[in-house]
C-alpha cells in the first residue's frame, strides 16, 4: 500500500477575506438596503476583523459572524434574517471550507427614506 500524498504546506485565510465574503453575501440578499455601522465603533480600532456592519471572529476552524443591517421597508424581517443566516453560512462553508458556529443578524433600522425618494 502507498501512503496518500500530502500537500507540502498549509493554507491560511486572512480574517479580512472572511469579512469580504460576509459583506458581499449580505448585500446580495434581497431586502437589504445597506449595512449599518457597528454600535461599538471604538472596537474597530482594536479589532482588525471588524468592518462597517460586519464583525467576524474565528475560534479553531469555526467562524462566528455578527451582521448589522438596514432593511428595505415592507418585508418580513424574520424571513430576511433567516435568509441572511443561511446565505452567509453557505458562502463561508463553500468558499473556505470552514464550519460556521453562528451568524447573528442585528436589524438596526428600516430604510423608509429610500422608499420616499424613489
CA–CA separation, 11 vs 9, rounded Å? Answer: 7
Whole-number Cα distances in Å, 53 to 9, 71, 98, 101, 116: 34, 13, 21, 19, 24
- Which DSSP symbol is given to 19? H
Cα 79 → chain centroid = 17
Stretch among 12-16, 57-61, 66-70, 114-118 having the lowest mean pLDDT: 114-118
Residue 113 has pLDDT above 60, yes or no: yes
Number of helices followed by number of strands (H, E) in the chain: 4, 5
How much is the pLDDT for 49?
Answer: 46
The pLDDT tens digits of the residues spanning 62-105 come to 999 999 999 999 999 999 999 999 999 999 999 999 999 999 99
Domains of the chain: 15-117 (3.30.70.1350)
What percent of the chain stands above pLDDT 70? 82
What mean pLDDT value characterizes the chain?
A: 86
Amino acid at each position: 500500500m502507498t501512503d496518500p500524498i500530502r500537500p507540502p504546506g498549509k493554507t491560511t485565510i486572512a480574517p479580512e477575506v472572511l469579512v469580504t465574503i460576509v459583506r458581499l453575501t449580505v448585500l446580495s440578499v434581497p431586502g437589504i438596503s445597506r449595512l449599518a455601522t457597528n454600535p461599538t465603533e471604538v472596537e474597530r480600532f482594536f479589532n482588525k476583523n471588524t468592518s462597517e456592519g460586519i464583525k467576524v471572529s474565528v475560534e479553531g476552524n469555526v467562524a462566528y459572524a455578527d451582521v448589522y443591517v438596514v432593511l428595505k421597508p415592507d418585508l418580513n424581517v424574520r424571513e430576511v434574517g433567516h435568509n441572511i443566516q443561511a446565505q452567509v453560512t453557505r458562502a463561508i462553508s463553500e468558499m473556505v471550507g470552514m464550519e460556521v458556529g453562528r451568524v447573528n443578524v442585528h436589524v438596526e433600522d428600516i430604510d423608509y427614506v429610500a422608499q420616499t425618494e424613489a
